[in-house]
Chain A
Amino acid sequence: MDIIVFILLILIPGYLLSRIIFEDLDGFLIPPISFVLGLLLLVLAALPSYIFSLTFLQSSAIILTYLGVLLLATLIKGNLTSVNWPKPNFNIALLLLLVFGILIIMFFISPHFDGDALFHLGQIRKLAENSPVSPTEAFFPIEKINPGYSYNIWYFAIAIVAALSKTDVVLVWSHLVFILVPTSVLAFYSFALALFRDRTLAAISVIFYAFFIGFLANAWEFRIAPYPDQVARHIVLYVSFFCFMQFAVFKERRYLYFTILIGALLPMIHMYSWIHLLISVSAFSIASYFLSDRRVLKMGIKVVLAILLLSAPYLLLKLQNAGEVVGDVTLKRDALVLLDRIFIVNPFYGIYALLLFTIFALVFLLYHYRRNLKSKIWLVFVASNAAASFLILYNPIAAPLVSKLITYTYFHRLGYLVYNELIIAAFLVLIVFSTGDKFKLTPQLRSLFLISSLSMIMLIPLVYNKTKETTVNEKEVSELISYIKTKVPKKSVIAADLWTSYRIPAYSNNYIVATFPSHMTANVNGAKRISDLKIIFSPDTNYKQARRVLNSYNVSYVVVNNRPSPNDIFAVDKFEGKGYIRKLYSNGVYTLYFHKIK
């Protein structure tokens, strides 16, 4: 049911809009473009809902209104079902094999339900289960705006689907991978096709996309497909690149407008991809000025400025608590600190074997095409983006600045500006498998690509390592949360150790005192909350001290974990037999108490 609602709310409006704007679109590009246009249209319902605290019923009315208008417009135009399908050939067979193969893989690979996933699920659950729609922080009842993910369009999309289909958000999240993963494959294909303007090369690039993400990386990014950063990077960003490349080649205004609109949609889903797009377009435009078409610089400036201008109101709305948001940058293990606050990505960690291989291929391609670079727009694009990546990651001035803007976690992901899949596919097809600068798809090569794709699809679920996130208290915590979901009133504040706390808002509509610092947003004073949580459970504090803290956070339920992990808060059960607190539930590991607030 949730999938049907998702199709109805997102994909169908997007499809209708694509029939009006991009009627000549290749049939295989329709799913990703419909998806992105659907999200773009959803902004019309989501932002008013967030700002004016509408209910999902009112939001649905907005969606139905534009759905009706679009349907009418498409019917008037008479191209509701006229799709431009390419002729069936090897490229199409390969693409279909990869898309459906990866779809089938997802039946054997479970979505990831730990780490950031629980944070996102907590935020989405609050949206889906509480009316009206609100951008406030979801883990803590503080009525503050969540600076990272407030007014998020993707959260709104999942929440409204869950609310209207009456399905739990965890289930919606699990089901969505079956739409998102094939859509991301097609989105990448759209990008590759717009870049290379060659179906064979685009289809072969998709093999490498599946190879790197699915085969080499244990399908990790397929498993986290519903994360906002994944949706933004693997679908919306690629579609924005598609529009931009189409604009760069055909100079048609509709592509310009949609590059800008999709560019402005990106920060509403995830900031990283927005920065990625801006850097990418800027780098390409500057490189084009010197290497190929001087006019591209003007086009690039136009696109970048328009995206910035259009994004500004949303960013202002979002960053109303900016003073608290932009704190000190937390560096990770792969940073190389040069001076106080001056750092770069440590080349020792950043430059891995595959990257060296890609650099070699890129340099070879540049050398090979050095005389006719002007006609190789794709090469200018991938080379300029790779250069931009290095100039930021290994630049002691740019690195701290960009990290401040998008956090270090996302800053070092600017390595994604090096498009391994595209460069290696181009190297293989245009250099290795070409004779006299001409690539001929021999029957032998066709078989090779098909056999290797099929083998890869077969091997991905076989080698997939599912034992990775089995944790000690998995069974007991799920029993505890089932009890909380059925017996504890919604929106109660529950005090528990950090690991258990992190799971409570993800799986039930309740609040917590604190969780892991990396999963608390900057404006909730995480350090204070953690030290208060320690007072509640510590063996060095007495019951009275604990009670004072419980009252200050309006905690009505306390969970004592007898088996916390070594890095977690050490919990001592000092509540047994005390007044104002009553034992409700115990399962050997967890004990749940009801606390009467003073």
Chain B
Amino acid sequence: MMARLESINYKSFFTQNLNKFLLLFIIIFAISFRLYYFVGVKRLDSFFYAQLSYFISSLNFHSFFFENNNYFAIGRLLLYLPTGLAYHFLGVGDISSVLFILLSSLANIVVVYFIGKMIINKWVGLISAFLLAIHPLDVIYSTQYLPDGLIPLFLSSSALSFLYAERETKVEKKLVLYFLTGLLIGLAMYVRESAFIFVSVFIVYAVFKGKFRLDYLWILVGGFFTFFLAGVFFFFGTSDFLYNFHKLFAQTLESKGAIKQSLGHEVLSFDFTKILLTDVLLRPFNLLLLTSTVFSLIYLRGRNFFVLIWFFTILFYLDFVAPLHGLGTQDRYLSIITAPSVIIIGSCIYTVFQGFRYNALGVLTLLVFVTLSANSALKIIWPQTALHPHFAKYEYLAEKLQNKEIKMVYVNNLKDKGYIFNYILNFDSLNYNSFQRGDVGSSNSLIIEWDGLKPPEKGSFVVVDSEKLYAKVRPNWNLISKKLRASLYFVK
């Protein structure tokens, strides 16, 4: 053993595997960055996802399908299933809720490295991987229980599989890779439904290349295969093969109506382009991205052509086609173009610096500068995301309600009802049982919105928001706790 160790030429071993060491360093750096800016389960949507994962972890599929009867995102199986597994083994909590998302974010860095390596070389791969490791948008959503941290992995993997397929000469292998491409898009659809749009990237690519091959049909086969599997799952659970799509369409129609009602028309805008260029989380990259995109079009002579198509097609979709554009535009929807944007920047940086004597130093200093900018952006956003005072008050009140036999909780508006319910639930089975389940059809019907007219029932709790409540506190209410502007009372 010792003799074998001594026979290794460490210098040449290190030189030969330099890119692997650097990639490992990038991954370690990415983990540290993500853990430093850890968020956990804070947004309202995350609580719904957590509840569904909780049902899965306890193998309670009836509740999974029917508890939130009209929940449009019931189809996001790839989000719920792995987290359900994590809940099962690690218990319910912040870390188990985001574990799979965090691992996916790290895996995406590796995938981006391979894409960069494939389209130009390993240095482009490394630069792109590093940029993704520090990208504030990716960092902040990698530790939140939302689809935005997970979906990029499936789309990047699909892109990588497609690029491998394009290069492959053996027919069988090529078809398997196309099938895998479709399969991964299909899986992405079960993280967020809009992922199907990624197919359009390949269509636009084929149009630009001027070649439609019959082999591409295998992409559709892969996609339909996932669709079929998920359909079977829903059929056995609900007797409806398209259960998830029915829920989704109902919600989409509703939200489209809301957009029309609030704005008077459907919006065609550059909202996401604006976010891409101006949002605090994306600002450290905006100048680099804009410069690199124009530079790529002039100088890279199609070497990163696929990535540019990927970037522009999805941006076009977000700006002009996505059902929520104009209303509810948020930076997180741009997570699906983070990967192509870092590869565009990476390829540009490499092209610019190659051939100069101190190119490594130049690249390094630029990356240090971008890292510092990314860190500044995260320093602004992270406290707002992770420590929002609005959430703090409900978290506190929910803690006060823990382990209490709750008859009823009165709140003074619908939004508060959602918040307080999710905080009381707090992914904890104990709390969940304290709701005396079985009496109610919908789990949050015990938290009721109070119009201030009918007096609250005796033995119930009342949450009072001092800025919102229109009814005065009654003499028979006992103050239990108070934080910020919220107070919790017990009705004697």
Interface positions of A (Cβ within 8 A of B): 215, 353-354, 357, 360-361, 364, 427-428, 431-436, 444-445, 447-448, 451-452, 455-456, 458-459, 462-463
Contact = CB atoms under 8 A, between A and B. Distances in A.
A361 B365 contact: yes
12 contacts: A353-B375, A357-B365, A357-B368, A357-B369, A428-B362, A432-B358, A433-B356, A435-B356, A436-B357, A445-B352, A451-B298, A462-B278
Contact of A444 (B290, B352, B359): B352
Contacts of B17: none
Contacts of A427: 365
A364 B352 CA distance: 21
Given A215-B287, A432-B359, A463-B278, A444 B369 contact: no
Interface in B322-353: 351-353
Interface string B78-110: 000000000000000000000000000000000
Contacts of B28: none
Q: Which one of A361, A432, A433 has the highest number of Cβ atoms from chain B below 10 Å of its Cβ?
A: A432
B299 A462 contact: no
Contacts of B368: 357
B36 to A, nearest CB: 16
B295 A447 contact: yes
B374 to A, nearest CB: 11
Interface residues of B, number: 28
Contacts of A444: 299, 351-352
The DSSP consensus for interface residues of chain A is helix
Contact of B361 (A215, A431, A448, A458): A431
A494 to B, nearest CB: 36
Nearest to A443: B299
Nearest to A436: B357
Nearest to B364: A432
A455 B348 CA distance: 15
Leading 5 A-B pairs by shortest Cβ distance: A432-B362, A455-B290, A353-B372, A452-B291, A451-B294
B372 A432 contact: no
Given A354-B372, A463-B286, 17 more contacts: A353-B372, A357-B369, A360-B365, A431-B361, A432-B359, A432-B362, A432-B365, A433-B356, A434-B358, A435-B357, A444-B351, A445-B352, A447-B295, A448-B295, A452-B291, A463-B278, A463-B283
Contacts of B287: 215, 452, 455-456, 459
A444 B290 CA distance: 16
B277 interface: yes
Interface in B173-195: none
Contacts of B277: 459, 462-463
B210 interface: no
A222 B183 CA distance: 53
B274 interface: yes
A168 to B, nearest CB: 33
A458 B273 CA distance: 13
Interface in B441-487: none
Interface string B371-384: 01001100000000
Nearest to B274: A462
B264 interface: no
Contact of A435 (B286, B290, B355): B355
B298 A432 contact: no
Contacts of B291: 448, 451-452, 455
